[in-house]
């Protein structure tokens, strides 16, 4: 049967038959790098047109409708525009850090791709602390924003960077705690084991109400961590022009833009892995017949379906809710999300010890 893991295995076999092990590894690394970069490009194109169409339909508009059939090729036109634009560096800027910041944002997004399981047995690096790796590496993201904000030598950029820093540092807590809820249930940080533990039902169904609360907390926290509305104080167009990327133009801006969308994809993929079972098809307990029917749908379709459902949910938030003020933002985190997720983690631990889940 056609699947990602079969393709990967046949490539690996062919390479090991024709080259020595070192070259096999190097060629495989190159292939993986190219695959990740092309995935980035495709994600950028798809998510931008998706965002624009979703926002238009939610605001009773038509959205882009001139380039290509129903405007579906709009993002190609956008990309072309960004490619040929001049990348300006402002006079008073710290040139080295200014030019470095977008690349750090991009590299962090690339590193986060490593532990994501895109389909059954199809994963770049199944390291034994996968989930911790994701939350660790994603904390470097804030550095690129702070760097961009400071190096631009612009008060709006600096304010945006400061806000974004405070926001990401505080929302990392509740995101981490809601991830821990799943880790407590599974007893493992490894992505493949977390997915395997959901063979007889996804955690959001198996874990009763506490898991649902953890899921909602996770979605709110990651929306804030990726700086998307209603938590887009870091770029708040109406008050800070564009926040930390005010001074960026051309391809450097495009890298920030792309990194934002790729980060949305990554956090949604992690959310889908933790709570909705990753590539695991929809299984109900011991209904063998039903489970068997569900297995016929390829695992990659399950994974991308779930991820894009979560991405749609985050876009839905963005185009429905108004932006929070900075004090409301911090209140929400420290007075509501953090205590709730802490108590929730206690309840989940009790459930895991007493075996109250299915």
- How far is CA 8 from each of CA 2, 273, 298, rounded to the nearest angstrom? 11, 21, 15
Smallest distance, another protein to C-beta of residue 172, A: 7
Smallest distance, another protein to C-beta of residue 293, A: 27
Helix (H, G, I), strand (E, B) or coil at 117: strand
Measured from the CB atom, the residue of 162 and 345 that comes closer to another protein is 162
Query: Is 129 near another protein (CB under 8 A)?
Result: yes
Query: Is 219 near another protein (CB under 8 A)?
Result: no
Query: Is 132 near another protein (CB under 8 A)?
Result: yes
Handedness of CA 20, 26, 30, 35 (dihedral sign): positive
Query: Is 46 near another protein (CB under 8 A)?
Result: no
- How far apart are the C-alpha atoms of 262 and 207, rounded to whole Å? 29
Instruction: Report the DSSP beta bridge partners of residue 123.
Output: 117
Instruction: Report the DSSP beta bridge partners of residue 119.
Output: 122
Instruction: Report the DSSP beta bridge partners of residue 117.
Output: 123
Q: Which two tokens stand for residue 52?
A: 């624009």
Of the candidates 48, 109, 137, 214, which one interacts with another protein according to CB under 8 A?
137
Query: Is 320 near another protein (CB under 8 A)?
Result: yes
Query: Is 319 near another protein (CB under 8 A)?
Result: yes
Q: 4 to 33, contacts with another protein by CB under 8 A? A: 22
Measured from the CB atom, the residue of 164 and 300 that comes closer to another protein is 164
Query: Is 58 near another protein (CB under 8 A)?
Result: yes
Measured from the CB atom, the residue of 101 and 268 that comes closer to another protein is 101
Query: Is 147 near another protein (CB under 8 A)?
Result: yes
Query: Is 331 near another protein (CB under 8 A)?
Result: no
Smallest distance, another protein to C-beta of residue 120, A: 23
- How far is CA 70 from each of CA 67, 73, 80, 187, rounded to the nearest angstrom? 7, 8, 19, 48
For residue 230, say if its preceding peptide bond is cis, omega within 30 degrees of 0.
yes
- How far apart are the C-alpha atoms of 248 and 85, rounded to whole Å? 11
- The one-character DSSP state at 323 is P
Query: Is 172 near another protein (CB under 8 A)?
Result: yes
Stated as kind and residue range, the H or E segment containing 272 is helix 250-275
- The one-character DSSP state at 335 is I
- How far apart are the C-alpha atoms of 288 and 294, rounded to whole Å? 10
Of the candidates 61, 81, 155, 325, which one interacts with another protein according to CB under 8 A?
61
- How far apart are the C-alpha atoms of 130 and 101, rounded to whole Å? 25
Query: Is 146 near another protein (CB under 8 A)?
Result: yes
Smallest distance, another protein to C-beta of residue 213, A: 10
Query: Is 316 near another protein (CB under 8 A)?
Result: yes
User: If binding means CB under 8 A, how many residues of this protein chain bind another protein?
Assistant: 45
Would you tell me which residues interact with another protein (CB under 8 A)? 22, 54, 57-62, 65, 92, 94, 96-97, 127-129, 132-133, 135-137, 139-140, 142-143, 146-147, 150, 153, 158, 162, 165, 169, 172, 183, 187-189, 316-317, 319-321, 336, 340
């Amino acid at each position: 049967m056609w699947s990602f893991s079969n393709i990967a295995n046949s490539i690996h076999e062919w390479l090991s038959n024709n080259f020595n092990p070192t070259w096999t590894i190097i060629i495989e690394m190159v292939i993986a790098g190219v695959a990740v970069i092309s995935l980035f490009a495709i994600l950028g194109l798809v998510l931008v047109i998706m965002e624009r169409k979703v926002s238009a339909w939610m605001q009773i508009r038509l959205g882009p409708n001139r380039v290509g059939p129903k405007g579906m090729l709009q993002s190609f036109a956008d990309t072309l525009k960004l490619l040929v634009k001049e990348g300006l560096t402002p006079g008073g800027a710290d040139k080295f850090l200014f030019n470095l910041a977008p690349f750090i944002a991009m590299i962090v997004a690339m590193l986060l791709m490593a532990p994501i399981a895109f389909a059954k047995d199809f994963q770049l690096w199944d390291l034994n602390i996968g989930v911790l790796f994701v939350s660790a590496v994603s904390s470097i993201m804030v550095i690129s924003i702070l760097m961009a904000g400071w190096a631009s030598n612009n008060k709006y950029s600096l304010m945006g960077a400061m806000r974004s820093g405070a926001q990401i540092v505080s929302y990392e807590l509740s995101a981490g705690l809601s991830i821990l809820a799943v880790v407590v249930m599974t007893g493992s940080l490894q992505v493949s084991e977390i997915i395997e533990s959901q063979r007889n039902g996804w955690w959001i169904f198996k874990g009763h109400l506490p898991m649902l609360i953890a899921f909602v907390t996770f979605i709110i926290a990651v929306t804030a961590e990726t700086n998307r509305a209603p938590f887009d104080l870091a770029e708040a167009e109406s008050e800070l022009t564009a926040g930390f990327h005010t001074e960026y133009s051309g391809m450097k801006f495009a890298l920030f833009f792309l990194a934002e969308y790729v980060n949305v994809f990554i956090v949604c993929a992690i959310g889908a892995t933790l709570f909705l079972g990753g590539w695991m098809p929809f299984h109900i307990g011991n209904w063998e017949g039903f489970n068997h029917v569900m297995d016929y749908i390829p695992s990659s379709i399950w994974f991308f379906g779930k991820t894009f459902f979560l991405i749609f949910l985050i876009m839905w938030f963005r185009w429905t809710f108004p932006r929070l003020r900075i004090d409301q933002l911090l209140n929400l985190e420290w007075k509501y999300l953090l205590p709730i997720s802490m108590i929730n983690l206690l309840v989940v631990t009790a459930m895991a010890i007493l075996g109250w889940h299915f």
